[in-house]
Chains A and B, each alone.
Chain A
Amino acid sequence: MTAYLIKGASILGGDPADLLLSGGVIAAVGVGLTAPAGAETVDAEGLVALPGLVDLHTHLREPGREDAETVETGTRAAALGGFTAVHAMANTSPVADTAGVVEQVWRLGQEAGHCDVRPVGAVTVGLAGERLAELGAMADSAARVRVFSDDGKCVSDAVLMRRALEYVKAFDGVIAQHAQEPRLTEDAQMNEGAVSGRLGLTGWPAVAEEAIIARDCLLAAHVGSRLHVCHVSTAGSVEIIRWAKSKGWNVTAEVTPHHLLLTDDLVEASSLGAYNPIFKVNPPLRTREDVEALRAALADGTIDVVATDHAPHPVEDKETEWGAAAMGMIGLETALPVVQLAMIETGLLDWAGVAERMSATPARIGRLSGHGAPLQSGSAANLTLVDPAARTVVDPRASASKSRNTPYEGLTLPGKVVATFLRGRPTVLEGKLA
């Protein structure tokens, strides 16, 4: 296996140093390292080195919706976005609610080889919210599932949620809740507020998210379990999570890049046209005040991680009237640029803070060994090199994803992933798949 000497990278935005990758690990870190015989040299001057990003929330769509995405195409997009591991959500067809399905997804990830694919197991059979899926069998499978979620649907039954939280303690699992009170969001189309009122779209109230988060925090505290809250989108949710953490409860939370940047008024007026379902997403885009609260929460640690909720949809599911359109946006390739724009260029986070929230902490929540480790001698050689000075106009057609539903079309985003290494092997070099 070829060794790589990365010259002059700024580790977590610090002083330039060289990294020698050999045998799947970081063999040495230092200034003025010399390349061993046969090693390739990567000039990383001006580039920031980060541990390989870990996504806790990715929809790869396979099996079942290979027209939208496959493990192969989705993990290509992940590698190009700087990710070395992704958690593939369970809402496939068939649902990933058995050891067989999660092992299939895991194996597809191994074969593709662009990044590690860690399947998320469904909490309930068929995501139906009625009976627990065989959580233990999935945990014990080759896929070693630790994160369980009915994402796309809420485990709304309080008893079922309590049991799930309790049950996964046996194998150190975590329930990742999609917090959406179903009755309050029947036929809901967008954030309930001034814009939804004007546009005549059924409102999706913030309270529908906050009520579930509050309940689940109390349940997790009561049974002493770990709870992870998916895609937090409101200022009120932030307050509840902050309160739960202040109690010392074992609650973690994620925010998506799009909720750190986009607001609900884009539905009414954007350069992409009014009522453009490219902005239709679950949970919905909220207000400017919510965005500010989410950024502050990510900065102060109330929200632990950034997760993409990469949700590919074919063109025909988005080029339609708003009410008929699918919810979700792709985001693997734009995640780090959006975080740079929303958090770094606003001074809210430095690169070390980004590495913490997009690599180390998500790996820890997912109990994913070998990822998110510090860039030091002996760590697995999972890392990515970013050019923070680059500026790119987002072109949906340029995405490696099979789908084109990015909300950032035409937007100039900062930062570009130049190289990604998975256990010492390049998956991306010079900004292209290796």
Chain B
Amino acid sequence: MKRHLISAADLSRDDALLILDTAEELAQVSQRSIKKLPTLRGRTVVNLFFEDSTRTRISFEAAAKRLSADVINFSAKGSSVSKGESLKDTALTLQAMGADAVVIRHGASGAPHRLAEWVDGSIVNAGDGTHEHPTQALLDAFSMRRRLGPLDGRRVTIVGDVLHSRVARSNVLLLATLGAEVTLVAPPTLLPVSVGSWPCEISYDLDAVLPKSDVVMMLRVQRERMNAAFFPSAREYSRRYGLDRDRLGRMPDHAVVMHPGPMNRGMEIAAEVADSPRSTIVEQVTNGVTIRMAVLYLLLGGAELEGGAQ
């Protein structure tokens, strides 16, 4: 393992499998009456959230607390950050506090990389702009593996606003590392022009891809995108790229439906699909805590890791 988890590309296949296997063991802890382990006693984890994301922050907070770490929540709203303090000054504050790990959510792509230049602790990227969200990809892979077994050769279809999705970027990288075959489905306007260089297939036709998918992951599509002419209307988007009951019926019986949340019910996913037994959406939340425990344990649970590769 490297010292930071900023991109899914930071993880080798062995690293990724170690995290998933560790999470598999830690999943038991969530079933116990005492859900706490003493492992990170005396370690400090700072949740540095420049964007509102209650669910991700709570997930990291629960994970750190179950490992007995001290958790400091530092949210940008109402703090010195909203009064114009720079990321660097915030970093120096965290450094002075002796944070062992900083979990950062930031609206700017690359903010975690910058932070890693300025603080000594491990940096965990909890979502940066339109770049990456590696723990989301890990929990998605974990959820898939629990439903379907090993991911080698499994066909995963990711549908929606890939261009602006940090979840899609991390998933493509991690799933390729784990041997899955990824297909991205989106209107061409919502794919990066360079997507051909990514380790995945591209399709504009959801109906053609569904019958050969083991997993269909729906991405959130923001309605505002249609104002920038990415697609003409919510109705047209939903018709061409939304997952409704008919399309669910075209998926193989064993295939599962995923969504990183928050969902636009009726837009990219029909309510009855989101709530169907084929959907892993509720498990994804539970698995989020488990996978983040695994990540925090592997980054902080041993001797300090050297910079770069161990």
Judge A-B direct contact (beta carbons within 8 Å).
Answer: yes
A interface residues (Cβ-Cβ under 8 A, vs B) = 189, 192-203, 205, 273-276, 316, 319-324
Whose C-beta in chain A lies nearest to the C-beta of B196?
A194
Residues of B129-167 whose CB lies within 8 A of A:
129-132, 166
In the complex the two chains form, is A201's CB within 8 Å of B197's CB?
no
Per-position binary interface string of chain B over residues 103-132, scored 1 when its CB falls under 8 Å from any chain A CB and 0 otherwise: 000111111011011000000000011111
Q: Does B226 contact A (CB under 8 A)?
A: no
Stretch at the interface among B187-195, B203-211, B281-289, B297-305: B187-195
Q: Are B86 and A193 in contact (CB under 8 A)?
A: no
Total number of residue pairs linking A and B with CB closer than 8 Å: 76
Complex Cα distance, B194 from A377, in Å, reads 57
**Residues B193 and A203 in contact, CB atoms below 8 Å apart:** yes
- Known contacts A192-B193, A192-B194, A321-B87; 19 further A-B pairs (Cβ under 8 A): A193-B193, A193-B194, A196-B192, A197-B195, A199-B109, A200-B109, A200-B130, A200-B131, A200-B169, A203-B192, A273-B113, A273-B117, A274-B110, A275-B110, A275-B114, A320-B86, A320-B114, A321-B114, A323-B107
User: Contact at B193–A322, with CB atoms within 8 Å?
Assistant: no
Contact B195 A200 (CB under 8 A): no
Residues of A near B192 (CB, < 8 A) are 196-197, 203
Cβ B166 vs Cβ A200 within 8 A: yes
Which residue of chain B has the shortest Cβ distance to A201 in the bound complex? Answer: B109
Main secondary structure of the interface of A (DSSP, over half): loop
Cβ of B77 under 8 Å from chain A: no
Most central of A195, A198, A321, A322 by chain B CB within 10 Å = A321
Q: Is the CB of A200 within 8 A of B129?
A: yes
In order of increasing CB-CB distance, the 6 nearest A-B pairs are: A275-B110, A200-B131, A197-B192, A200-B130, A197-B194, A321-B108
> In the complex, what distance in Å separates the CA atom of A312 from the CA atom of B132?
31
B88 within 8 A of A: yes
Q: Which residues of A contact B87 (CB under 8 A)?
A: 320-321, 324
Contact partners of B194 in chain A: CB under 8 A: 192-198
Structural contact, B108 and A319, CB atoms closer than 8 A: no
Contacts of B131 in A (CB 8 A): 199-201
**Known A-B contacts A316-B86, A319-B88; A198 and B169 likewise in contact (beta carbons under 8 Å):** yes
Question: Which residues of chain B are within 8 angstroms of A199 by Cβ–Cβ distance?
Answer: 109-110, 131
The answer to whether B195 touches A275 (Cβ under 8 A) is no
User: Of residues 158 to 189 in B, which have CB atoms within 8 Å of A's CB atoms?
Assistant: 166, 169
**Which residue of chain B has its CB nearest to the CB of A195?**
B194
Check B110–A321 contact: CB distance below 8 A.
yes
Residues of B contacting A189 in the complex (Cβ-Cβ under 8 angstroms): 109
Contact B110 A201 (CB under 8 A): yes
Residues 77-104 of chain B, each 1 if its beta carbon lies under 8 Å from chain A, else 0: 0000000001110000000000000000
CB<8 Å pairs between A and B, sample of 10: A192-B194, A197-B193, A199-B110, A200-B109, A200-B130, A200-B166, A275-B109, A320-B87, A321-B110, A321-B111
Docked CA distance A300–B132 (Å): 43
- Contacts of B169 on A, CB cut-off 8 Å? 198, 200
B193 cross-chain contacts in A, Cβ below 8 A = 192-193, 197, 203, 205
Q: Which of these, B116, B132, B198, contacts A197 with CB under 8 Å?
A: B198
Within the complex, what minimum Cβ distance (angstroms) separates A58 from chain B? Answer: 28
B residues near A323, Cβ cutoff 8 Å = 107-110, 129
In the complex, which residue of chain B has the Cβ closest to the Cβ of A193?
A: B194
Nearest opposing residue in chain A for B193, CB measure: A192
Q: What is the bound-complex CA distance between A203 and B111, given in angstroms? A: 17
* Chain B residue contacts of A324, Cβ below 8 A: 87, 108
Q: Tell me the complex Cα distance, A194–B197, Å.
A: 7
When distances are taken between beta carbons in the complex, the residues of chain B under 8 Å from A201 are: 109-110, 129-131
A188: min CB distance to chain B, Å: 13
Contacts of A276 in B (CB 8 A): 114
Q: Which single residue of chain A is at the shortest CB-CB distance from B132?
A: A200
Q: In the complex, what residues of A have CB within 8 A of residue B107's CB? A: 323
Closest chain A CB from B3 CB (angstroms) = 14
Inter-chain contact B197/A322, CB cutoff 8 Å: no
Whole-angstrom distance between the Cβ of B209 and the nearest chain A Cβ: 21
Distance between Cα atoms of A264 and B111 in the complex (Å): 18
Task: Kindly provide the distance from the CB of A285 to the nearest chain B CB, expressed in whole angstroms.
Answer: 15
